[in-house]
């Protein structure tokens, strides 16, 4: 009798040990991600997307002792652009890679624990390289989107598929590459494919099961839906049909939500940026074309739009508006009142400060030095002051009807800032924006919609504006409305930023360097060559009393695919695919 009793005790002990091992990510873990230093459980180091860490062991004095701990190669021939932000939880790192792959690694040693490689069909149509920007953690799951427009949830400890749901039809031009947002037990995702005339939208699913809870279109005229007890019901039309779109073009209106979303618990609002209206040829679609090229605020409990702010109404340059909306507290210089605000460095070249409770414009100013399409932003109306002659011409007005007047526009359609995420440091009060100075020749052409085909109606050539640099990491003061300092870079910047209480701002360059700058002055204080271009955002965390920094390396993304003259300027850069982890030598 003693032997079975002893065995049962051992079995019970193993069960307890197993339960301790398999920690789960809770709503509280996600809500507190920006405050906790022992993990990184959400994209943006927190739902608000500030990309700020309170860690300060690595600082302007100690960063000179920062050395590599380990590096892991994604392997194979599937390299291309690597834009992923790693997640770290319970001693494990979860990092996605090109071609819809995800790896689980030991965060201390880099040992591979498991790998999942999504089976991609022939005929996928990603606009801007085969990238993925990261995963989401919830409960015992790690969840990420795929290039064939699916959402996959894996057991985070084993890599086994728990659920898989189709977002939409890849054959119609849909894809997905953004890191999901987790809000109140829901996984919130958008869609890519604005260049194919998709229907932009945001959708929320039960994170544990993948079942739909609501869908909110981001093109005016489309119906939203919600699901309760498995029953689908209508949840109201987005906007008013034909109010800002004439005819039927709203049905293929784009406004893709391809760069993901942020969430602010103080206002209980999801903020999502929307892409360009389709097609690019603006003469085919008179009006503001809501809700394209905008920030849209959505109530996560109902899936309804609470407010919107359109950064480029009637977009004719493919400026999009997908850039992240980062919550922060804005102190009014006139009244001293603290306003719940959000900052957005838009692709159109202007930095916007918006009241995040109601969408009212507080401030707007350039964060790039060359802007030709608008003279500025009218702070009273919130609208751009257009330079009409800088809109690409109407092909129908030309002699042959095949090509409209070519104009030179700055910034280029790749934007003053694109997918690369900025950071906000509450200690300095500054945003750190990876900016680019470039322009384009652009013209319009006739076009008609064909399912699954490119839907542009425009041609373009991107050009550098300066011989010595394209990229510049800029510190931006949202209150004073000015650039405080800049650190120039020869190639375009395409990776995100991390800022810390150690008075540092980390970012990578296409030339392969991970750099640390003094967050107050912009002086470079450390750099490391990763072997390939960095187009991803760094992260930091603490374990065993030591602070770690990690970044993914691998050149690619939109620049070499769409960059015209600029792409030829950086064609010497080598591809790669790896993650690097650093800490202070001997912990000092």
Catalytic residues: 318
Give the containing element (helix H, strand E) for 334: none
Do residues 242 and 248 touch, judged by C-beta distance below 8 A?
no
Residue in 222, 147, 129, 145 with CA at minimum distance from that of residue 180: 145
DSSP 532: S
DSSP letters of 363-419? EEEESSS---SEEEE-TTT--EEE-GGGSPPPGGGSSSSS----EEESS-TT-SS-S
Which residues, at least 6 apart from 146, have a Cβ–Cβ distance to it below 8 Å? 100, 118, 120, 132, 152, 176
**225: helix, strand or coil:** strand
Sheet of 423-425: strand order equals: 423-425, 430-436, 471-477, 482-489
User: How do the residues of the chain divide into helix, strand and coil, expressed in percent and rounded to 5?
Assistant: 10, 40, 50
DSSP letters of 165-222? EE-S-GGGT-B--SPPEEETTEEEE--B-GGGT-B-EEEEEETTT--EEEEEESSTTP
Residue in 123, 72, 71, 126 with CA at minimum distance from that of residue 100: 126
Measured distance CA(432)–CA(493) in Å, rounded? 12
Measured distance CA(359)–CA(355) in Å, rounded? 5
What CA–CA distances, in Å, run from 205 to 185, 212, 303, 329, 548? 9, 4, 11, 30, 33
Measured distance CA(435)–CA(465) in Å, rounded? 13
Measured distance CA(218)–CA(195) in Å, rounded? 15
């Amino acid at each position: 009798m003693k032997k079975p009793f002893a065995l049962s005790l051992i079995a019970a002990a193993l069960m307890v040990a197993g339960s301790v091992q398999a920690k789960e990510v809770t709503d509280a873990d996600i809500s507190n991600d920006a405050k906790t230093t022992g993990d990184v459980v959400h994209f943006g180091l927190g739902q608000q997307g500030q990309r700020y860490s309170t860690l300060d062991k690595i600082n302007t004095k100690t960063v000179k002792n920062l050395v590599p701990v380990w590096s892991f190669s994604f392997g194979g021939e599937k390299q291309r652009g690597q834009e992923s932000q790693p997640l770290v939880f319970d001693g494990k790192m979860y990092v996605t890679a090109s071609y819809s792959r995800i790896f689980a690694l030991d965060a201390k040693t880099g040992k591979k624990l498991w790998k999942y490689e999504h089976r991609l069909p022939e005929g996928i149509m990603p606009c801007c390289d085969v990238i993925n920007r990261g995963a989401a953690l919830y409960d015992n799951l790690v969840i990420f989107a795929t290039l064939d427009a699916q959402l996959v949830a894996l057991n985070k400890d084993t890599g086994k598929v728990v659920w898989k749901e189709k977002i939409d039809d890849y054959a119609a031009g849909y894809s997905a590459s953004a890191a999901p947002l987790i809000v109140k037990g829901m996984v919130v995702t958008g869609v890519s494919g604005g260049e194919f005339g998709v229907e932009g939208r945001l959708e929320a699913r039960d994170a544990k099961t993948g079942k739909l809870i609501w869908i909110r279109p981001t093109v005016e005229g489309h119906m939203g839906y919600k699901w309760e007890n498995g029953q689908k019901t209508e949840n109201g039309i987005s906007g008013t049909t034909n109010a800002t779109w004439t005819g039927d073009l709203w049905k293929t209106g784009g406004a893709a939500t391809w760069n993901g979303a942020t969430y602010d618990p103080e206002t209980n609002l999801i903020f999502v940026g929307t892409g360009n209206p389709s097609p690019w040829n603006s003469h085919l679609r008179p009006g503001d074309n809501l809700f394209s090229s905008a920030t849209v605020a959505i109530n996560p409990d109902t899936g309804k739009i609470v407010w919107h702010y359109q950064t480029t109404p009637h977009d004719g340059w493919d400026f999009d508006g997908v850039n992240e909306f980062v919550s922060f507290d804005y102190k009014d210089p006139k009244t001293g009142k603290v306003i719940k605000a959000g900052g957005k460095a838009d692709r159109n070249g202007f930095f916007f400060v918006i009241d995040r409770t109601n969408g009212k414009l507080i401030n707007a100013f350039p964060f790039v030095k060359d802007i030709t399409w608008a003279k500025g932003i009218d702070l009273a109306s919130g609208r751009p002051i257009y330079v009409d002659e800088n809109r690409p011409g109407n092909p129908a007005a030309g002699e042959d009807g095949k090509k409209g007047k070519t104009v030179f526009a700055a910034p280029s359609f790749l934007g003053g800032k694109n997918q690369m995420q900025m950071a906000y440091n509450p200690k300095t009060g500054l945003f750190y924006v990876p900016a680019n100075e470039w322009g384009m020749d652009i013209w319009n052409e006739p076009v008609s919609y064909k399912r699954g085909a490119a839907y542009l109606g425009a041609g373009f050539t991107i050009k550098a504006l300066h011989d010595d640099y394209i990229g510049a990491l800029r510190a931006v003061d949202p209150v004073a409305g000015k650039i405080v300092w800049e650190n120039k870079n020869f190639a375009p910047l395409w990776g995100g930023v991390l800022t810390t209480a150690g008075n540092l701002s980390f970012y990578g360059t296409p030339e392969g360097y991970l750099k640390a700058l003094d967050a107050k002055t912009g002086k470079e204080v450390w750099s490391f060559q990763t072997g390939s271009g960095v187009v991803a955002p760094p992260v930091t965390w603490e374990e065993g009393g030591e602070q770690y920094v990690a970044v993914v390396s691998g050149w690619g993304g939109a620049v070499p695919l769409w960059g015209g003259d600029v792409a030829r300027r950086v064609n010497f850069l080598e591809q790669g695919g790896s993650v690097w982890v650093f800490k202070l030598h001997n912990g000092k």
